[in-house]
Amino acid sequence: MNMNLRIELKNGIMSASLRGELDHHTAGALREEIDSTAQKVKPTLLRLDFSEVPFMDSSGIGLILGRIRLMALWGGRVAVAGLSPQLRKMAELSGIAALAALENTEKEVNAK
């Protein structure tokens, strides 16, 4: 099991909490582990939690987009949570916001 990834399954929802910097060195292993678990359990919702990811490059965007495509194969969807303001801006510019639900962090919700 990857030390930078924690996967939890509950009520048809698969939560994948990522930790650490996400770049082309780390994205492949995370992608494989998320995909192999998702293909076994076929969740209705895959929730990707980035609250412990301080940095990501385009590999992180690719990881999200690939999971959106994978989940679409069996009618599932993706939610992305815990994006820092910089990562959220990246997600919005790349078009991810139109394809997946961007969930607010607890801090953002409490600040409103």
How do the domains of the chain map onto residue ranges? 5-111
The tokens describing 80, both together, are: 């992305």
With 60 as the cut, is the pLDDT of residue 107 above it?
no
* CATH class of the domain whose range is 5-111: alpha beta
Residue pair 78/44 in contact by the 8 Å Cβ criterion: no
pTM over 0.85: yes
Share of the chain above pLDDT 90, in %: 89
Mean pLDDT of 58-62: 96
Residue pair 52/20 in contact by the 8 Å Cβ criterion: yes
The tokens describing 36, both together, are: 């192999």
